[in-house]
Structure 1
Amino acid sequence: MKFAIPMLNGQITAHFGHCEKFAVVETKDNQVINEEMLTPPVHQPGVYPRFLADQGVEVIIAGGMGQQAQNLFAQNNIKVYMGVASGTSKELVENYLNNQLDTGDNLCTH
Structure 2
Amino acid sequence: MKIALPTRENLIDSHFGHCEYYTVFTVNDDSKEIVNQEIIASPAGCGCKSNIATTLSEMGVNLLLAGNMGEGAVNVLNRAGIEVVRGCTGDVKEVALSWLAGSVLDSGEMCHAHDEGHECQH
Q: Same fold (TM over 0.5)?
A: yes
Deviations 1:39-64 (A, max 9, x none): 12222414221221122110000011
Corresponding residue for residue 33 of structure 1: 35
Worse overlay, 11-20 or 71-80: 71-80
Q: Letter of the 2:10 partner, please give it.
A: G
- From 45, 48, 54, the equivalent of 2:52 is 48
- Find out whether 1:12 has 2:7 as its counterpart: no
> What displacement does 1:25 show?
0.4
Report the 3-state secondary structure (helix = DSSP H, G, I; strand = E; otherwise coil) of the residue aligned with 2:69.
coil
Instruction: Tell whether 2:120 aligns with 1:101.
Output: no
Q: How many Å separate the matches in 2 of 1:81 and 1:69?
A: 12
Contact kept in structure 2, 1:64 and 1:106, CA below 8 Å: yes
Structure 2 counterparts to residues 47-66 of structure 1, below 5 A: 47-66=51-70
For 1:102 and 1:70, the matched residues in 2 are separated by 15
Structure 2 stretches lacking a partner, 5+ long: 114-122
Q: Which has the larger radius of gyration?
A: 2
Deviates more, 1:21-30 or 1:68-77: 68-77
Question: Which is further off, 66-75 or 43-52?
Answer: 43-52
Cα deviation, residue 81, structure 1:
0.1
Secondary structure of 2:103's counterpart equals coil
SS in 2 for 1:108: coil
Contact 2:12 2:90 in 1 (8 A): yes
Aligned to 1:67: 71
Q: Secondary structure at the match of 1:99?
A: coil
Cα deviation digits, residues 68-95 of structure 1 (max 9, x gap): 21111211221100011x2222111110
Preserved contact between residue 63 and residue 106 of structure 1 (Cα < 8 Å): no
* Root-mean-square deviation (Å): 1.6
